[in-house]
A and B are shown apart, each in its own frame.
Chain A
Amino acid sequence: MMNWPKEIIASSIGNDNLRELARCGGVTAAYGVPREFFAMAAKALKGAGQPGGLAGQLAVLDGWRLAAEWATDETPFGRGFAVFAAYNSGTEYVIVKSDLPQDDPSFPSLAGIFTPALRFERQIQSLMGVSPEAHPDLRPWIKHEDWPWDVYPLRKSFDGKTPLKKVPGGDYPWARADGEGVYEIPVGPVHAGIIEPGHFRFQAVGEDIINLEEKLGYVHKGIEKRFESLGWIFGARLAARVSGDSTVAHSIAFSMAVEAASMVAPAQRALWMRAVMLERERIANHLGDIGAICNDTAFAFLHHQFSILREKVLRANQRFFGHRLMMDRVLPGGAAVDMDKDASEEMLKEIVWLSKEFEKLVVIYEDNPSLEDRVWGAGVLSPSVAKELGTVGFVARASGQALDARVQNPFAPYDRIVPKVPVLTSGDVHARAWVRVEEVRESMRLIREMLQDIPRGRLCVPCPAPRPGAEGFSAVEGWRGEIIYWVQAGPLSSTAGPLSSTDAGINRCMVRDPSSVNWLALEEAILGNIVPDFPLCNKSFNQSYSGHDL
């Protein structure tokens, strides 16, 4: 059986058409293929089996998964554009790249092979002006209808510093369901509560939702473009603010990608500190969201109780790390905070206390029939759809997908202290909440074990800017799921950041938040549910708008 990505791709497109690329750190391998074979390579990987997985935890995955797809403008190197796809199977990540000529930047679409490519490629087309051929839906994505149509912010020729001149008019062509008794409910972008903006359109018959379409992009701030002008050092601050609720995870992912590009091994102790903070971030967000799910079933009591626990964790973060959300505590090369023995003993005590309090609330959650009534069977995402849509994180695990970047792409200490990955198959609101209950327990165990064994030593090593043209990839499991970063250094002094006039700046920093794939799953999960259940279902996914819109 062929296991190696190289053999799989070569068997489909021929050895002569496959070039191994040496420049990208952080992946198993990277290959260059002529653009006419871009989709064929995807097809070959999708069809190939890869048995096994780490410690028998990851189920047999039949076929590789499209994890991310993006485009680059490589004109500063004297080339044209390029399109990239990152695939994952088991513990391996590979990248397939195709160069595209500057005067005809188009490539064969992957949308017919991998569903997540539908939105990846709309985004590529909208922001980079690189066209997927035979893509069934090329309505702009993130780029709203009052932008001039021919503006492509990620191109080098576009000046990211000047405000966009909006054009009046323009309409977004919504997908519509017609028929007797079908009515439409538009919601947003501004919502009733304290939440991020997005627009949802429901079509319903009676109370039943027969179609939901999301329109996002409202909080698009030009993050990917901004990375290019900020450079490596200030880029870390920006990465910490891509999605504030996942600040630790994004900081780690950015740092790992930069380290991979620079070929720097970060300080050992820092890796453990990163993991401790990553698990604390997971706990805090899970606590808040489990409570919020209870709130949406009108069980305010548990909501308050969980928010008390969350608040206690944030306050402890402030004591341990000097910031409630632990922003800017991870940097390329290491970490910016340390813990002494007293602090680690205090944290151990805190975890013991938290675990006790948490279990009391879990019993109440399990005991409550009216809550059960709302969460069981609501917003079902079936395992087959979850797989088809390429979902990640707790959403995927609640729908039978054994995916966890801590196991698939482990950094120390996850290679020694291996997380148990809870997987449920019912795919409903309850499953998404319950996976998170299990993960809180597991994170507490991980922190306890990490604190026992954390190695001594330096907290940070110098991380020089990557060499010109170097590339780095990372995949990190934040609380929401797998976060992917890919960075590419420019040629010498191409986009000099403030402190790096002699180094290569950032030519491209690609961010793929878990929300970029999971938003699509909400559209599927909501079908057949009643309109009043939307807030509850939405909450059970709790995707990031900022992380998606960039």
Chain B
Amino acid sequence: MLRILRQIFSTGIVTEPLSPAEESRITVTGALLEKKIERRFQRSVAIRFVDAGSCNACELEAHAANNPFYNSERFGIHFTASPRFADILLVTGPVSINMETALKRTYNAMPGPKLVVAIGDCGRDGGVFGCGYASAGGVGNVIPVDVYVTGCPPAPSQIIHGILRAVSPARKTGDGPGF
């Protein structure tokens, strides 16, 4: 027990400002968002996650968004085990034909209004897997997408930012270089 306590005190708080550029983006968005999240989502957004066919690297980075460094919970982002409580559907990967039905079902099971964030180059257009007999390509080919977060895989900070962008009032589909 003493060891654990010692480790806790010596670790301190590692949650950090993201990179200065990212941080300013996020704080700016954050300020804009605060009211919006409060009103629309009761101070927190619930996210349902579906891997629709990714290579699993996008999952690793989505996981990392929860690690103590990025600590996405501080923005009121949390993951839920049921689509019934979810505000946002986070999807990784191209949509494989074997996941198409499950993805549609999850989407349909969510209450409206709902938002969809597609993670990674695959989510945008199928990425390296393209479109073919087993891949339906980007998420947008199967369900409506509100925000795309590009990258292969996108960094955790980009994923967090994508989620914030989805709930932001100035949301636009697709992402230009500067978000």
Contact = CB atoms under 8 A, between A and B. Distances in A.
B129 A360 contact: no
A544 interface: yes
A460 B132 CA distance: 33
B21 to A, nearest CB: 15
A220 B11 contact: no
B interface bracket (residues with beta carbon within 8 Å of A):
35 or more
A307 interface: yes
Contact of B93 (A217, A219, A223): A219
Nearest to B61: A324
Given A194-B79, A218-B99, A311-B69, A153 B134 contact: yes
Contacts of B4: 301, 364
A222 interface: yes
A219 B93 CA distance: 9
A84 B82 CA distance: 44
A308 B8 CA distance: 12
A162 B133 contact: yes
B64 to A, nearest CB: 6
A153 B133 contact: yes
Nearest to A315: B69
Contact of B56 (A163, A166, A222, A544): A544
Interface string A205-234: 000000000000111111101100000001
B162 interface: no
B8 A244 contact: no
B153 A325 contact: yes
Contact of A307 (B51, B68, B93, B102): B68
Contacts of A243: 55-56
Interface residues of A, number: 58
Interface in B1-40: 3-4, 7-8, 11, 14
Interface string B66-105: 1111000000000101100000000001101111011000
A301 B59 contact: no
A305 B5 CA distance: 12
B174 interface: no
Interface string A528-550: 00000000000000001110010
A364 to B, nearest CB: 5
Task: Give the interface centre of B8, B11, B81 by most chain A CB atoms within 10 Å.
Answer: B11
A218 B102 contact: yes
A307 B67 CA distance: 6
Interface string A315-343: 00000000011010000000000000000
Contact of A193 (B49, B69, B129, B132): B49
Nearest to A222: B134
Given A301-B8, A305-B7, A219 B132 contact: no
B98 A364 contact: no
B168 interface: no
A363 B68 contact: no
B59 A241 contact: no
A219 B99 CA distance: 7
A251 to B, nearest CB: 12
A360 B11 CA distance: 12
Contacts of A163: 97, 131-133, 136
Contact of B133 (A158, A244, A304): A158
A225 B3 contact: no
Contacts of B101: 146
A308 B67 contact: yes
B97 A164 contact: yes
A310 B14 CA distance: 13
B68 A304 contact: yes
Contact of B96 (A146, A220, A305, A363): A220
B153 A190 contact: no
B170 interface: no
A219 B62 CA distance: 18
Interface string B126-152: 011111111110000000000000001
Contacts of B98: 144, 217-220, 549
B25 to A, nearest CB: 19
Contacts of A53: none
Interface of A: 144, 146, 153, 158-164, 166, 189-190, 192-197, 217-223, 225-226, 234, 237-238, 241-245, 247, 288, 301, 304-305, 307-308, 310-311, 314, 324-325, 327, 360-361, 363-364, 367, 544-546, 549
23 contacts: A161-B132, A190-B102, A190-B106, A193-B81, A194-B59, A194-B63, A197-B50, A218-B102, A219-B54, A220-B98, A225-B133, A226-B129, A238-B128, A241-B128, A244-B56, A244-B153, A301-B7, A308-B69, A325-B60, A364-B3, A367-B3, A546-B54, A546-B56
Interface of B: 3-4, 7-8, 11, 14, 49-64, 66-69, 79, 81-82, 93-94, 96-99, 101-102, 106, 127-136, 152-153, 155
| 6 smallest beta-carbon distances between A and B, as pairs | A244-B57, A222-B134, A192-B81, A244-B55, A241-B55, A307-B67
Given A193-B81, A220-B98, 11 more contacts: A158-B133, A194-B49, A218-B53, A218-B102, A219-B98, A241-B127, A241-B129, A244-B55, A244-B58, A305-B11, A325-B153
